Structure 1
Amino acid sequence: MAGFVGWAGLAGIAAGACLLCLPVHATEDGERIAERQCAECHGPGGRSERPDTPSIGGFSEFAIMDLLDSYRLGFRQARTVTLDDGSETDMATIVDALSEREIEAVALYYADQEWIPHEQPFDANLARRGARIHSVKCGKCHPRGGSVPEADHALLAGQWRDYLAGEFRDFDSGARRMADRMYQRYDKQSPADKAALLEFYVSAGR
């Protein structure tokens, strides 16, 4: 659905281009940074163990850069999360604490991981309906059910249900902004259509 260059625009493109300049050990640096700053919520290798938090391992470098830039530039609201030690943080705080090089290294690290869909219960009939809607409305920007990293968007196939449902609610309420092209497609879908799309993504095409 999100057929656009990215909320970060030219800033994201320039940062993505800089990935080509990073040294070979950048992925190793990214692993250390991810373990320190990201793993408690997003899980080892970016495979989240928290249903309300997205898995990000396997996203493309650009998708990770665009995601982080959206928080840094204020295009996306950051929700507060409570960590295991009782302290609170949010994505904007984490991103602000990282240098551009650290962000690039983290993006490379997560892009080097394998995307592993979460196996979750789903309604097969509703998922089939969602597949048809996705093919017409969303497939151009999220090919193969949202499972292609090279499309440079967030991977949807097999993402956590609770997380996706929360994102849909934020889209509906306006709490999360959308690019015009995505808005024009998403906003025309009925609640039943959106429920079918959610079921399709949860099914991971099974």
Structure 2
Amino acid sequence: MKRLISIAISLTLGLFASTSMAGDLDAVVENCNGCHGNDGVSQWADVPTIAGVSEFVHSDALYIFRDEGRPCTESKYRQGDTSRPATTMCAVVADMSDDMIEEVAAYYAALPFVPAKQEFDAALAAAGKAIHDAECDRCHSEGGANPDDDAGILAGQWAGYLTDTFAEYRAGEREQPKKMEEKLNALSDDDVKALIHYYASQQ
């Protein structure tokens, strides 16, 4: 009898913990969507779409933000309760547990990536494709569209966000593999601009 009671208590506590964790995840996702858009699909040029990004890339980014290893630019909430004070990614994840980071990453990885509808220059995009094929496709395959590379999705990402990101990498403000650093430093500003137009063209 005592054993049955013990099992029942364990099951109840387990159910409570799962329900509590699910509730926490819902709240975190709602907060994320306040800047990144419904289901993580951004409608704003300076904010990346996070839906469809691999679990590894997303969780790695959140851990780095938690350690304040990337620039933490202040941003206003774009939807929901927009009266909330502006925040930063570092502040958002400051108290987030490892388990929650992994849950958030898994949640968004399961959603489809939606390319941004945006303007681009066709001539620059063609030049950018040639640069990508020669310098970037080994790690960012399928034109930068393959999430299984665990190297982020470049194709269809917002050009404004990519412009800021490339600038941070080239300024040494973001950690990057040595090979990537060497390749980026060898590119001219015009080369980078062409790459961004190429990624923006993939809609």
TM > 0.5: yes
> Where has structure 1 moved over 2 Å in runs of 4 or more?
24-31, 33-37, 171-179
Q: Distance in 2 between matches of 1:146 and 1:25?
A: 37
Contact 1:27 1:105 in 2 (8 A): no
Superposed displacement of residue 171, structure 1: 2.3
Percent identical: 34
Q: How many residues align?
A: 183
Task: Find the counterpart in structure 1 of residue 5 from structure 2.
Answer: none
TM-score by length of 1: 0.81
User: How much does 1:100 deviate?
Assistant: 1.4
RMSD: 2.3
Q: Residues 130-164 of structure 1: CA distance to partner in whole angstroms, max 9, x if unpaired? A: 11110111111110111111111211111111111
User: Which one has the largest radius of gyration?
Assistant: 2
Q: How far has the Cα of 1:104 moved from its partner?
A: 1.1
- Unaligned 5+ segments in structure 1 are 1-23
Give the deviation of 1:202 after TM superposition: 0.6
Which residue does 1:111 correspond to in 2? 109
Tell me which of the two structures has the higher relative contact order, counting C-alpha pairs closer than 8 angstroms and 6 or more residues apart.
1
What's 1:89 paired with? 87
Task: Mark the runs of 5 or more structure 2 residues left unpaired by the alignment.
Answer: 1-17
Question: Do 2:35 and 2:76's aligned partners in 1 also have CA atoms closer than 8 Å?
Answer: no
Tell me the equivalent position of 1:35.
Answer: 29
- Residue type of the alignment partner of 1:68: L
C-alpha displacement of 1:58? 0.2
Change (3 A) 1:68 1:188: same
1:28-51 deviation per Cα after TM superposition (whole angstroms, max 9, x unaligned): 668614433201111111101221
TM-score of the pair, normalised by structure 2: 0.82
Question: Which range is displaced more, 34-43 or 60-69?
Answer: 34-43
Any conservation in 1 of the 2:129–2:195 contact (CA below 8 Å)? yes
